[in-house]
């Protein structure tokens, strides 16, 4: 006969049988946090979604404006002011003041608007003919500043070419004895400020002067040629 087991007798489990463990509480907390994170992510994505722009309502079509009626500005007498008509009491009719004179004291006559003459364009300026050039006996155009150079035998412009072979430095040495010195071709002309003094001409390379007296009636032919026919264009500053 088998003996009976009491309630306090431990029951021996078979070897290798699985043991059931209770479910941990921290796993439940992790699952709840994960669910809340998913819900929060969904709300954030919905807040960042682009919002469709509002659809503008179609504009109302423009209301056509009524065109003014020609002759619609008649006054109490039926006169059309836009056409220039006014009421004349003395004639009892509508008139245009510049066409019909109204003698009524209530309305003085109105003068017709003046007619302005057409503008006439100014006449174009007339070009004046140029003055003819002045030419001397040697064919030099004196109006353009040219002179005859006897030494070089041609016309020249003093501002561009000197009619002399004497340098200013050679003539400057005469400033010690005279007040005024000029270069005249191949001659040096020297004078003093003393009244009645003679005119002295020194030929290039010569130290002996040609003395020309101040009295013109006693001048020699050589002095007349030097004084009246020689062109002195190079003054020396003494």
For residue range 106-143, list pLDDT tens digits in order.
Answer: 555 556 677 777 778 888 888 877 778 889 888 999 88
Q: What is the pLDDT of residue 202?
A: 92
In a domain, 155, yes or no: no
Q: In the structure encoding, which two tokens stand for residue 83, read together?
A: 């056409």
pLDDT (average), residues 30-42: 80
Structural domains of the chain, count: 2
How many Å apart are CA 154 and CA 157, to the nearest integer?
Answer: 10
In a domain, 16, yes or no: no
pLDDT range class, residue 2, cuts 50, 70, 90 = very low
Q: What is the pLDDT of residue 200?
A: 93
| Residue finishing a domain among 113, 143, 174 | 113
In a domain, 135, yes or no: no
pLDDT single digits (tens) 150-178: 767 888 887 787 776 666 777 888 888 89
In a domain, 6, yes or no: no
Question: What CA dihedral angle connects 210, 214, 220 and 223, to 10 degrees?
Answer: 50
Q: Are strands 154-156 and 210-212 parallel, antiparallel or unpaired?
A: unpaired
Q: What is the pLDDT of residue 209?
A: 92
In a domain, 100, yes or no: yes
In a domain, 122, yes or no: no
| Residue finishing a domain among 50, 81, 113 | 113
Q: Which domain holds residue 196?
A: 165-236
In a domain, 3, yes or no: no
Q: What is the pLDDT of residue 1?
A: 44
| Residue finishing a domain among 53, 83, 113 | 113
pLDDT range class, residue 52, cuts 50, 70, 90 = low
pLDDT single digits (tens) 85-105: 999 988 889 999 888 888 754
171 exposure class (CB count in 10 Å sphere: 0-12, 13-18, 19+): buried
In a domain, 64, yes or no: no
């Amino acid at each position: 006969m088998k003996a009976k087991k009491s309630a306090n007798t431990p029951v021996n489990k078979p070897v290798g049988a699985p043991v059931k463990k209770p479910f941990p509480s921290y796993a439940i907390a992790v699952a709840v946090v994960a669910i809340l994170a998913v819900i929060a992510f969904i709300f954030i994505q919905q807040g960042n979604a682009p919002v469709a722009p509002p659809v503008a309502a179609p504009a109302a079509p423009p209301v056509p404006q009524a065109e003014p009626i020609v002759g619609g500005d008649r006054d109490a007498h039926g006169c059309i002011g836009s056409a220039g008509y006014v009421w004349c009491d003395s004639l009892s009719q509508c008139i245009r003041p510049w066409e019909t004179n109204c003698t009524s004291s209530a309305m003085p006559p109105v003068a017709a608007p003046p007619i302005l003459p057409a503008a006439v364009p100014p006449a174009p300026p007339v070009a004046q003919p140029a003055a003819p050039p002045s030419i001397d006996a040697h064919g030099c155009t004196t109006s353009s500043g040219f002179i005859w150079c006897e030494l070089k035998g041609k016309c020249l412009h003093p501002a561009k070419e000197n009619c002399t072979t004497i340098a200013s430095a050679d003539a400057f040495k005469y400033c010690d004895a005279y007040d005024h010195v000029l270069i005249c071709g191949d001659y040096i002309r020297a004078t003093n400020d003393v009244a009645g003094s003679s005119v002295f001409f020194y030929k290039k390379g010569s130290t002996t002067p040609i003395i020309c007296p101040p009295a013109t009636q006693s001048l020699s032919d050589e002095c007349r040629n030097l004084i009246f026919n020689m062109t002195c264009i190079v003054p020396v500053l003494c």
